[in-house]
Amino acid sequence: MRRGDKAQAEVTPLSLYLRRREFLALGAGSMVGARAVARVALASETELPRLTGVRNSPYSTEEEPTPYKDVTSYNNYYEFGTDKADPAAHAGSFRTRPWTVAFEGEIAKPQTVAIDELLSWFTLEERVYRMRCVEAWSMVIPWVGFPLADLVKRLAPTPKAEYVAFTSVFDPSQMPGQRRGTLNWPYVEGLRLDEAMHPLALLAVGLYGRVLPNQNGAPLRLVVPWKYGFKGIKAITKVRFVSKEPPTTWSRMAPSEYGFYANVNPAVDHPRWSQARERRIGEFFKRPTLPFNGYADQVAHLYDGMDLRRHY
């Protein structure tokens, strides 16, 4: 990210968000303070509705979140183009209602559920997670969502279920990238069932306390903070429980470059670049990348006995 952005970041909704939280925590504060906050809020409030009933999660990092502006304007979402500015530029009018999610395969009761009904099943949490893209940049994002494990438990997998396969929406009329053969459409991803059951795996419906912007994967996307960003499949319409490792878009595209696991691993380079360090968006100097993106204490046990150079 450009160095000069730091000063600008000070006036983005990030600082606003944190200040407002501080303000609420302090009680009312002085009237002068209240009026100042309200004025800034009017100047830079986004249009997206605020999510209510969101509880805080003990899984959040204390690191400073990346400014809202960066989180929502620097994305990979090839359905809207391959440039990182494309999703914010072209996803604005994408329709996220009506929307259904189909739950299929090895579960007690396969069913198709409207997104708002699905949301009524869970209490939303805010989870501030470090996110690491395979392209060696990273962000800290205050997601709002519910644990994937809660959904899996509710769907009651059969003993044959060993993997969970996710599918993004296929709608070339709304997604210009799908009219080109950039990737094999629709985008697909997968997790092993025990990965999907891990408490850090999240299904996100919002960020920064608001409804998820389209470019970030509205209305429903996966967040797996110990894996590279491409595992975080957006605009999910299908979740299928299967007995065999499902295909994933990037490993199908370039099997020598992208594996099924995609765990963040500074010791295993991408064939074309190093994974040892990363640029946190908004910072100038690179920082070292941590095994499992810093979540090793929580997740490393999932891979005991596996050769992580082979299973990248």
Ligand X SMILES: Nc1nc2c(c(=O)[nH]1)N[C@H]1C(S)=C(S)[C@@H](COP(=O)(O)O)O[C@H]1N2
**Binding stretches for ligand X (CB under 6 A):** 75-79, 131, 133, 168, 187, 216-217, 229-230, 232-235
Helix axis angle, 13-25 to 31-44, nearest 10°: 150
Q: Rule CB under 5 A: is residue 230 a binding residue for Mo ion?
A: yes
| In the complex, minimum distance from the CB of residue 232 to ligand X, in angstroms, rounded to a whole number | 5
Q: Work out how close the CB of 165 gets to ligand X at its nearest, in angstroms, rounded to a whole number.
A: 14
* Number of Cβ within a 10 Å radius of residue 71: 25
Closer residue to ligand X (CB): 76 or 265: 76
CB 1 within 8 A of CB 12: no
Minimum CB–partner distance for residue 61 and ligand X (Å) = 15
Q: Which is nearer to ligand X, 129 or 157 (CB)?
A: 129
In the three-class reduction of DSSP (H, G, I as helix; E, B as strand; rest coil), residue 146 is classed as: strand
Q: Which does 295 bind (CB under 5 to 8 A by kind): ligand X, Mo ion, none?
A: none
Residue 233 interface partner, choices Mo ion, ligand X, none, CB cut-off 5-8 Å depending on type? ligand X
Amino acid at 292: F
Residue 39, token pair as written in the block = 């004025």
Taking the C-alpha atoms of residue 35 and residue 67, their distance in angstroms, rounded to an integer, is 23
**CB of 305: closest distance to ligand X in angstroms?**
29
Residue placing its CB nearer to ligand X in the complex, 198 or 234: 234
As a whole number of angstroms, the longest Cα–Cα distance in the chain is 62
Q: Chain centroid to CA 83: how far?
A: 18
Please identify the residue of the shown chain whose CB is closest to the bound Mo ion: 229
Nearest alpha carbon to residue 112 among 122, 96, 98: 98
Q: Where along the sequence are the contacts to Mo ion (CB under 5 A)?
A: 76, 133-134, 229-230
